[in-house]
Amino acid sequence: DSGVTQTPKHLITATGQRVTLRCSPRSGDLSVYWYQQSLDQGLQFLIHYYNGEERAKGNILERFSAQQFPDLHSELNLSSLELGDSALYFCASSARGGQINTEAFFGQGTRLTVV
Amino acid sequence: TQLLEQSPQFLSIQEGENLTVYCNSSSVFSSLQWYRQEPGEGPVLLVTVVTGGEVKKLKRLTFQFGDARKDSSLHITAAQPGDTGLYLCAGERGSNSGYALNFGKGTSLLVTP
């Protein structure tokens, strides 16, 4: 158990809909990262939050947004869903952000299926 | 565009065999991490290498960081069925404004008894 909790574990929804994925980081970790994993693209970095502030953006679509709340949990919002958004979405946390040799701990992921 | 290329993509071997998987890039990384991911789980960190030329051992696993810090290899000696999983390398490129781990697509390893 990594200490990172993601809910829900599975999500099936229709195209055009909006969903929210939730992540609770390890106790004391200030950084939260979101990744998307698909068979053809592998693990793609989406966005990084540190202590409530956005620190880095990767290949995140405009239809996607995220935030980190004062209690440090984070939510990833996916809207106007398309079939191609079906993937595993992982949240990871670490104690620090923007530092060398930062160890990231991953949750078990949310498997999103868009039908 | 994938910053890190991993090879081979798939590897199926028998218990007791040795194997090496590779992680290559044209970019320089401040550090490189290896993760193992099992079905239905998130990646779990195995090791971080920081210094060019560094070699780290974790039981039967040997990790090496290239001298130029652009590539890495993972060697497994006497593979066991428990080694089965997806091995991912991830390069760290930190900056003052943020940090991101860039992952390769992974090597899927199957070790059969």
| Those residues with Cβ within 8 angstroms of residue B111's Cβ, 6 or more apart along the chain or in another chain | B13, B14, B15, B17, B79, B80, B81, B82, B83, B84
Cα B83–chain centre separation: 13
* Residues on chain B touching A100 (C-beta within 8 angstroms): 30-31, 50, 92, 94
Q: Is B97–A56 a contact, with Cβ atoms under 8 angstroms apart?
A: yes
Q: Which of A31-35, A40-44, B59-63 has the lowest mean pLDDT?
A: A40-44
CB B56 within 8 A of CB B82: no
Q: Which residue has tokens 């595993």?
A: A88
Backbone torsions φ then ψ of A73, nearest 5 degrees: -70, 160
pLDDT at residue B99, as a whole number: 63
Half-sphere exposure of residue B50: CA atoms within 13 angstroms, side-chain side: 6
- List, for residues B34-71, the tens digit of each pLDDT value: 999 998 899 999 999 988 999 999 999 999 999 998 89
- List, for residues A55-90, the tens digit of each pLDDT value: 888 889 999 999 999 999 999 999 999 999 999 999
* Residues on chain A touching B42 (C-beta within 8 angstroms): 2, 4, 90, 92, 106-109
* Residues on chain B touching A104 (C-beta within 8 angstroms): 45, 101
Q: Is B101–A45 a contact, with Cβ atoms under 8 angstroms apart?
A: yes
Q: Average pLDDT, whole number, for chain B?
A: 90
